[in-house]
Every structure is written in structure tokens, then in C-alpha cells.
Structure 1
Amino acid sequence: MEKILISRCFLGEKVRYDGKDNLLNNRVFERWLAEGRLVAICPEVAGGLSTPRAPAEIQQDSNRVLTRDGVDVTAAFEQGANQALSLCQQHNIRYALLKESSPSCGSQKIHNGKFEQIKIKGQGVCAQLLSDNGIRVYSEKNIEELIEVMESK
């Protein structure tokens, strides 16, 4: 049975920067959870950041991750991304379902780095590392594509 890496916030865990969750309600997803196919991580928490925490965005000029107050949290984001990759390697995971627009998990869009609520094309730190290592990253925006891939196996 093939496993899937998943953002912990999708499981209803309150690990977002604002202390909230992003619970997904999907029958297939619930079946995968019951089957033990989901391996959960919040890369930001795994990297040592607290919940709640200051909002952070990737700075386009330097690729550093800074909080709104200018604190550099790049090392924590990289540490969490490395832990996610390690989980994928341990469990032979080839697919991930991560939170879109997150500076860690965004697979297609991230915020522009100016804390203006403007999204641009790009990947978060974790999504980029996983993609670079051959893991296909999906989000809640294209979960149906992941379901189709996994159900055809």
C-alpha cells in the first residue's frame, strides 16, 4: 500500500501559523486515513517553530524566509523540509498533499514576500525540496488529480 505525505493541518491539527487548522473533508481522504496510508507532518513545527507563530514569507530577492517583523526563520523552514524528505525516504513516499500558498508547503503559489496578501507563482521551501527529489506535490487545489493517480494503482 503506497503512502502519502500530508500536511498535519489537513488532519484538523491546529498547527497553522495562526493556531488554526485546514481540515479536509473528503471521503477518499478519510478512507486513506483509516487505511494508514497518510504520513503527517507540519514542516514548520517539525523545524522548531511554535504554534501560533508570526506570519512568514519567502523573500524573492534572497530566498530567505522572514517573519513580518524581519526575523530570519529560514533555518527552521529548511530543517522541517529535510525532516519531510526523510519521512518520504523512510516510507518510500512518492506523493505529497501539502497546503497551497504556505511558505513551506505551497506547490504552485506562495505569497510575494511583502506581506501584501498577493500570491505569485512559486513553491514553498518543503514543496521545492520534495519536488527536487522526485516527489510529486499536490495541494487542496488539485486533490482530485492525486485521488485519480492513487486510485488507479
Structure 2
Amino acid sequence: MPELCINTQKSIGSIELRVIGHGWGFDIERILVSSCLLGQPVRYNGTDKPNEHADVLTRWAREERLIPFCPEVAVGFPTPRPPAEIVGNTQSSHIRSQGKDVLSGDARVLEKSGADVTHLYLKAADKTVALARQHGCSHAVLTDGSPSCGSSFIYDGTFSGTGVPGMGTTATALCNAGIHVWSQAQIAKLDAMLRTSA
């Protein structure tokens, strides 16, 4: 397993943690994790996603639970890349689309320029599900707000920075495959559940 750099922002500043794991046996529950949560600068704007749970992520890495993955990078998106949001096929401003609508063909994923990248987001969702199954993942921790990885909210398709409740394409596909999806804000909750069931 490659070395993982896990970065987090706390009140005392930036903390970098390095942990090394070995092996991919299925004797412990695997967790698919967005690479940007592990300090990898793969987000659309070329950054990572700092979070407050580096201690938990470090322990999970030592326990060899982590499967890092970025759906967009896996299908060839560059970093940085234009922002993208889910846009419905209807003109009604009262209907906000989300990942399930993209999967059913009732919505698209558009970049801010208007470029339609739906096919790549669908491919990314399929690749993520396949990877999760390959490694026996029963849980995924994904970066919220993304049109791919959002699990409690996404943006409303107007590129105005307005968040709305909903799930992205990859998060929806994972749920449909029976994999439990958590946002980065729920890491502690997932950790408590795993420790209780251990």
C-alpha cells in the first residue's frame, strides 16, 4: 500500500500525519475514502479537503482499512478542472436534481462553461462501485458537496454557491450497491459504530 499523507486544519495550524499500511486482506471492514480527505490535492480547484478527524483516519490507516480513491481523477479529469454541478433536464427552478436523476437519465452534470460531462461522471460512479466491491468495502467516506461524492448536500446547478440537500452520482451509485455512504462530518460516528461492532 502506498504511503498516505493525511492533512488536517486545527486551531494550532496545519498538521501533517504520515502512516504506512501493508496488505489487503478482508479480515477487517474496508472503508473507501475520498483521496482529498487524505491530503491529496485532487479537488476541482487543485486542493485537498482539510478535516478535523486526522486521528481517526490515521488509526484506520494503521488498521489497514483505507481504500483511497478520487472518482473524477480515475476517469481522466485533470486537476485543477472546471467546477461542475448537476443540472436538471427541466427548466423549472422549483425542481432541484441530484445524483439519482443523473443515473436515471433525467439530469446532467455540466461544467460551469456549459460542457456536458455526464458520461464521465457515470463512468466514475461505475468505477468507484467496482473498486469498493473489489476490496470488500462496506462503507465509504466521501467529500460532501461534490456532484460526485456529495452525500448530504450538493450545489443547486446555478453555480451560485447555493447548497441543497441531495446526493451526488457516485454516492448514489454506492448506496444502490448496498455500500453505506458517510460524509466527512460523520467520520466520528462511523468510527464509533465500527469500534462497537468490533
CA distance in 1, matches of 2:62, 2:50: 16
Segments of 4+ moved more than 2 angstroms? 23-26
1:18 alignment counterpart: 45
Instruction: Report the AA paired with residue 21 of structure 1.
Output: D
Matched, 1:139 2:167: no
Shift of 1:99: 0.2
Matched, 1:90 2:117: no
CA distance in 2, matches of 1:30, 1:73: 34
2:88 alignment counterpart: 60
CA distance in 2, matches of 1:70, 1:144: 38
Shift of 1:55: 0.2
Calculate percent identity across the aligned residue pairs. 41
Evaluate the alpha carbon distance shift between residue 60 and residue 144 of structure 1 in structure 2; reply closer, same or farther with a 3 A threshold.
farther
CA distance in 2, matches of 1:96, 1:60: 26
Matched, 1:73 2:101: no
Instruction: Report the AA paired with residue 175 of structure 2.
Output: S
Instruction: Report the AA paired with residue 65 of structure 2.
Output: R
**What secondary structure is seen at the aligned counterpart in 1 of 2:128?**
helix
How many corresponding residue pairs?
Answer: 153
Q: Per residue, is there more strand in 1 or in 2? A: 2
Shift of 1:49: 0.7
List alignment gaps of at least 5 residues for structure 2.
Answer: 1-27, 90-105
Q: State which structure, 1 or 2, has the greater radius of gyration over its C-alpha atoms.
A: 2
Is this contact kept in 2: 1:47–1:78, CA < 8 A? Answer: no
1:44 alignment counterpart: 72
State the Cα deviation string for residues 50-100 of structure 1 (Å, max 9, x = none). Answer: 100000000133420000000011111111111110111111111000000
